Structure 1
Amino acid sequence: MASDLPATATATATAEISAQAAQVLRRVALDEELKARVPQDPVLGPLVRKVAGRYVAGETLTDALDHAKRIRGTGHRTTVDYMGESCRAPQRATEATEVFLDAAGLLAPGCSLSLDLSRIGLVVDEELAPANATRIAHATAETNREMIISAEGSDRPDSVLALHRSLCRRFDHVGVTIQARLHRTSDDLQQLLALPGRIRLVKGSARTVPSPVPPADQWRCPVPRQPLRQQLQVALEAVRTLVGTQPRSAAHADGESKARRNPAPRPPTPPA
């Protein structure tokens, strides 16, 4: 029994570090301003890129296509996404749309195209995102590629699902992503099952509150009392340490598809 204690203690410490890292990184994922600032930080920026490099296929469309081709060669399905969300400038939204149009024509057969609607204008005005999404839907339909709309913050499901329904009236290859962490998902799912297109279910990073709502000090996310920059640095270093000894996996640009190596089989336990 004594020999099991160090391993148990190590597993507990690892779980605690993982939980703390996930907590801090989730805070960043839900804060648009932080997401814009962190990559530019001289200390945190390199750490972010090292951690993300495990899941991001590359800096260019060519990089993503090369990774997708290698993944498909192993028998896995792939989805390519041009990372980014909450674009506030119409010109940038249009430029992003052009990248998705290029991808639609260059993706290998059977490879899906995934995108955030806020990347192509959802938060700019009511007309830009539908227009750009329709262009992408036409391009993917012409090249026989699946188009998947990604999930976004918990304040956007109504606008995301409304645009998805609009596209489904004209196209049958447009899927959508919903988050299991949202209480509304079970109702949304019933409506989505009546529409064409694939439904992608993800855990999601949205922070939800149980019902009935307990006192605020009971459900508020506990964050260590350190400067945020220090919290993020600790979290990113923890993530890099935890994944550093695992086999590196190729992934598409939003980190959804991963080629995992099967662990070696354990030798049989000798009889006592």
Structure 2
Amino acid sequence: MATTDVEQRFAATMKSLARRADLKEYVERTPAVYALLQRAAAKYVAGDRRAEALEAGIRLGEKDYAVSIEYIGENTADAAACEDAVREMGEIVRDLAERGMSGRVSFDLSHIGLMVDAELAYKGLVALAEQAEQAGIELFISMEEAAKTEEILAVYRRAAARYSNIGITLQAQLHRTVQDLNRLRSDATGRVRLVKGAYQEPSGLSIPRSEELNERYLGLVEDAIEQGHRISIATHDEGIVDEVIRRGWARLPGVEFEMLYGIRPDLCSRLKQAAYPVRVYLTYGREWYLYLCHRIAEYPPNIYQAIVDIASEAQADSAAAYE
């Protein structure tokens, strides 16, 4: 179904609201507002605590899904808080290893130091990579706004030269991504997660949601495979998913589908039943404001479900929707 002009403007507005630090702070510091909006966020966020994410991961693992777990946070400007985040992520690594789960730990570099100093982020990344390598766990760096892309890739390439268990996310919407992927051909051999891109970027830097973006996405998948990268096809766009299958890429070694928790569990189930590798991206933590805004922006009718969830007395249980 074509996106209407109103939906496009609504999506742009939600992305702008996602960047409002004052609104985020208000939500997190106002118990009544936090409790209401948390009911909507619960569809996409496993909970505030690591234990809740692990529980959801275990339930999904019992249904033969792999999982990726993220402790939500970004733009952390306090060095001590960044170090706390690294310790929390280290606990995720430890918990996954102890449970023998097929898990992956994902995070934003701006959560572990990039906003303070790139060297702090690098040190945190290396510490996690060392621990994760010993535990047989893969780390994954998420991508953020275009203004951070160069610095994120620089930290990634530096760490990936030492550790092969670090993957990187690329956004198909950015014009620069074709060149960035080509640069990774020689700089790093980690897995690439390809997303369309959730951030509101200037038109000169990005492609809007369109058939052109879909073709760019498929072209990047093909390039990544030809370059020998393992790749996570991270999209809920059923047209792209079906085209990846039609072209035979989904059966290649190292190719998997990855989808966000609570979004298109029906599609995840269909793919898993067809014996394609499927990974569910789980998030947890208190800093879900931006994440919730982006989930609504990506598919504006999600606002209806958010209102229903806010009004409901029952807590969302997205893990139950996966078969």
TM-score (norm 2): 0.61
After TM superposition, give the deviation of residue 60 of structure 1 in Å.
1.0
The residue aligned with 2:69 is 80
Which has the larger helix fraction? 2
In 2 relative to 1, CA 20–76 (structure 1 residues): closer, same or farther, beyond 3 Å?
farther
After TM superposition, give the deviation of residue 135 of structure 1 in Å.
0.5
Once the two structures are overlaid, the 10-residue window that deviates more, 115-124 or 35-44, is 35-44
In 2 relative to 1, CA 248–212 (structure 1 residues): closer, same or farther, beyond 3 Å?
closer
The residue aligned with 1:110 is 102
Pick one of 170, 191, 198 that aligns with 1:198.
Answer: 191
Once the two structures are overlaid, the 10-residue window that deviates more, 192-201 or 143-152, is 192-201
After TM superposition, give the deviation of residue 238 of structure 1 in Å.
6.3
In the alignment, the residues of structure 1 paired with residue 7 and residue 317 of structure 2 have an alpha-carbon distance, to the nearest angstrom, of 19
Identical columns (%): 29
In the alignment, the residues of structure 1 paired with residue 322 and residue 12 of structure 2 have an alpha-carbon distance, to the nearest angstrom, of 25
Q: Which amino acid aligns with 1:179?
A: Q
Residue pairs, 1:165-204, within 5 angstroms: 165-194=157-186, 195-204=188-197
Please say if residues 174 and 198 of structure 1, whose CA atoms lie closer than 8 Å, have aligned partners that are also in contact. yes
Q: Does 1:249 align with 2:318?
A: yes
1:128-156 residue CA offsets vs partner (Å, 9 max, x unmatched): 11111111111110100010001111210
In 2 relative to 1, CA 124–43 (structure 1 residues): closer, same or farther, beyond 3 Å?
same
In 2 relative to 1, CA 110–240 (structure 1 residues): closer, same or farther, beyond 3 Å?
same
In the alignment, the residues of structure 1 paired with residue 152 and residue 46 of structure 2 have an alpha-carbon distance, to the nearest angstrom, of 26
In the alignment, the residues of structure 1 paired with residue 20 and residue 177 of structure 2 have an alpha-carbon distance, to the nearest angstrom, of 22
In 2 relative to 1, CA 63–91 (structure 1 residues): closer, same or farther, beyond 3 Å?
same
How many residue pairs match? The answer is 222
Once the two structures are overlaid, the 10-residue window that deviates more, 200-209 or 32-41, is 32-41
Which has the larger strand fraction? 2
The residue aligned with 2:267 is none
In 2 relative to 1, CA 260–17 (structure 1 residues): closer, same or farther, beyond 3 Å?
farther
The residue aligned with 1:65 is 54
In 2 relative to 1, CA 49–15 (structure 1 residues): closer, same or farther, beyond 3 Å?
farther
In 2 relative to 1, CA 42–103 (structure 1 residues): closer, same or farther, beyond 3 Å?
closer
In the alignment, the residues of structure 1 paired with residue 8 and residue 31 of structure 2 have an alpha-carbon distance, to the nearest angstrom, of 25
Q: Does 1:50 align with 2:50?
A: no
Please say if residues 173 and 196 of structure 1, whose CA atoms lie closer than 8 Å, have aligned partners that are also in contact. no
Which runs of 5 or more residues in structure 2 are unaligned? 207-292, 310-315
The residue aligned with 2:126 is 134
After TM superposition, give the deviation of residue 193 of structure 1 in Å.
3.5
- For residue 177 of structure 1, give the secondary structure of its aligned residue in structure 2: strand
Pick one of 90, 113, 135 that aligns with 1:101.
Answer: 90
The residue aligned with 2:140 is 148
Pick one of 201, 204, 215 that aligns with 1:208.
Answer: 201
In the alignment, the residues of structure 1 paired with residue 205 and residue 104 of structure 2 have an alpha-carbon distance, to the nearest angstrom, of 40
- For residue 137 of structure 1, give the secondary structure of its aligned residue in structure 2: helix
After TM superposition, give the deviation of residue 240 of structure 1 in Å.
4.5
After TM superposition, give the deviation of residue 16 of structure 1 in Å.
6.8
Pick one of 20, 25, 50 that aligns with 1:36.
Answer: 25
Once the two structures are overlaid, the 10-residue window that deviates more, 149-158 or 23-32, is 23-32
In 2 relative to 1, CA 212–183 (structure 1 residues): closer, same or farther, beyond 3 Å?
closer
Larger Rg: 1
In 2 relative to 1, CA 30–212 (structure 1 residues): closer, same or farther, beyond 3 Å?
closer
After TM superposition, give the deviation of residue 73 of structure 1 in Å.
1.4
In 2 relative to 1, CA 126–208 (structure 1 residues): closer, same or farther, beyond 3 Å?
closer
TM-score (norm 1): 0.71
In 2 relative to 1, CA 180–89 (structure 1 residues): closer, same or farther, beyond 3 Å?
same
In 2 relative to 1, CA 26–41 (structure 1 residues): closer, same or farther, beyond 3 Å?
farther
